[in-house]
Amino acid sequence: MPSDQSTWIISAPLNGDSEGLIQALNSKLVQSSKTSSTNLIAELGIPSFKTGTLDSLIALSEDLPKQDTFFTNTVAKIVDTLRNLLNNDPSKLSQHILVNESSTESYLLGQWRWNESRYGVQKGLRDMVDTLNKEMTSIDNAMRAKLTNYNLVKGSLIQMQRKKTGNLSVRSLVDVVSKEDFVQDSEYLETLLAAVPKNLVKNWNTKYERLANMVVPRSANVVASDEEYILFSVVIFRRVHDEFIQQCRENKFIIRDFAYSEEEIAKQRQDLDTADVTERELWTELLHLSRTNFSESFQILVHLKVIRLFVESVLRYGLPANYIGIVVQPESKSAKKTFSVLQSYFSYLSSGPRSKGAKSKEGDTEEFVGEYQTLMEQEFYDFVLYEVPWITQ
């Protein structure tokens, strides 16, 4: 049975008028539910394609599942990109997963038409599939490039922002210290910054002047504090720099590697502002591109599904190619009942040409093993059915 998380597209030989068939089938569905129909059903126009040879149709039928998988995955990746950009907000996502500014449901059940201007049916089926594949590949490549660029900038921004968070032992000190906290332009003296755990502050005050033999007495000053650390500045002679740092490590006082430079501080602030602006610009560009490419890629996917529907119909029912396409969007809770109605309604087809891989007597299909193994492994019903998964949910 097909998934209840997908829209079903079906084809069957047309005997009579299409409108009458749709009405009759819808009536059956309403009767089965004993209420107003919760299923949505509409006709899906199948163009009169050039069929080509039987061998070419069989070869195409074997290739199309691979393209179908690639197309479906590409659409799904675009939806995932949109979902991530919108922080997994379903209401916002629904505003962007649109096809020509309409919902996918409206597109499939009412607006869908074969795009003759882009995929003229005078072309061969293989040529049309190649065109669809080139378009989808182009979309996939464009999305990959834009997403990679955005992720690089976003990663850089996150890294910069993380430096502004955390405790005083790890966070950026650009916005913590000021020029007055440092000895400036001295040949012999320098200011170091030490992040001292609060439970060791008393120990620091007792020891820091004796951690090296050239520490300026009473030079330690509190610069900042948080819940875990107090940041001290201390003035030492440059010649005992390494010794003082080593002694601090042994006493669990964390020396912050920071040299005050107004130019460097200004540069870091500018870099953060630039990264923030760039990230927002790329976010907007990626959102717009994803929205546009979702619409395009979903249409390409449905066009490929229709070609699959046609190819399988010719292989199943033969020529002339007089088939009706039907779109059914089942209600999840009643999907089994809906499928049962479809099987019952189209049961007359089981007395027609046999489904590939269905045995009428023992050994009938042995001659097909090998060259057409892929076709035999597919699941078949009395009517041709393919699914458009609800990758937008």
Put the strands of the sheet holding 189-197 in their side by side order. 221-225, 229-237, 189-197, 254-256
- The helix/strand/coil state of 167 is coil
Q: Can you give the pLDDT at residue 370?
A: 45
* HEC assignment per residue over 353-367: CCCCCCCCCCCCCHH
Q: Can you give the pLDDT at residue 38?
A: 55
Crossing angle for the helix pair 54-85 and 262-317, nearest 10 degrees?
A: 150
CB 376 within 8 A of CB 369: yes
Q: Can you give the pLDDT at residue 174?
A: 87
Environment class of 312 (CB within 10 Å of its CB; exposed 0-12, middle 13-18, buried 19+)? buried
Q: Can you give the pLDDT at residue 77?
A: 96
Tens of pLDDT along the chain (393 residues) come to 888 888 999 998 887 677 788 888 888 887 776 655 556 888 898 998 998 899 999 999 999 999 999 999 999 999 999 999 999 999 999 999 999 999 999 999 988 899 999 999 889 999 999 999 999 999 999 999 999 999 999 999 998 888 888 899 988 898 899 999 999 889 999 999 999 999 999 999 999 999 999 999 999 999 999 999 999 999 999 999 999 999 999 999 999 998 888 888 888 889 889 999 999 999 999 999 999 999 999 999 999 999 999 999 999 888 888 888 999 988 878 888 888 888 888 888 875 444 443 343 444 444 444 444 444 445 668 889 999 988 766
Q: Can you give the pLDDT at residue 207?
A: 95
Q: Can you give the pLDDT at residue 346?
A: 85
- Token pair for residue 82? 């949109």
Q: Where in the chain is the domain with CATH 3.30.70.100?
A: 179-259
- d(C-alpha 81, C-alpha 291), whole Å: 10
Sign of the torsion angle spanned by Cα atoms 193, 197, 200, 202? positive
CATH architecture of 6-156+279-350: Up-down Bundle (1.20)
Is-above-0.75 flag for pTM?
yes
Q: Can you give the pLDDT at residue 392?
A: 67
CB 357 within 8 A of CB 375: yes
Distances (CA, A) of 192 to 207, 340, 372: 15, 79, 77
CATH 3.40.190.10 fits 179-259, yes or no: no
Q: Can you give the pLDDT at residue 260?
A: 86
Cis? peptide before 320, omega within 30° of 0: yes
Q: Can you give the pLDDT at residue 36?
A: 53
Q: Which residues contact residue 199 at a Cβ distance below 8 angstroms, ignoring those fewer than 6 apart?
A: none
Q: Where in the chain is the domain with CATH 1.20.1460.10?
A: 6-156+279-350
- The helix/strand/coil state of 79 is helix
Q: Can you give the pLDDT at residue 35?
A: 52
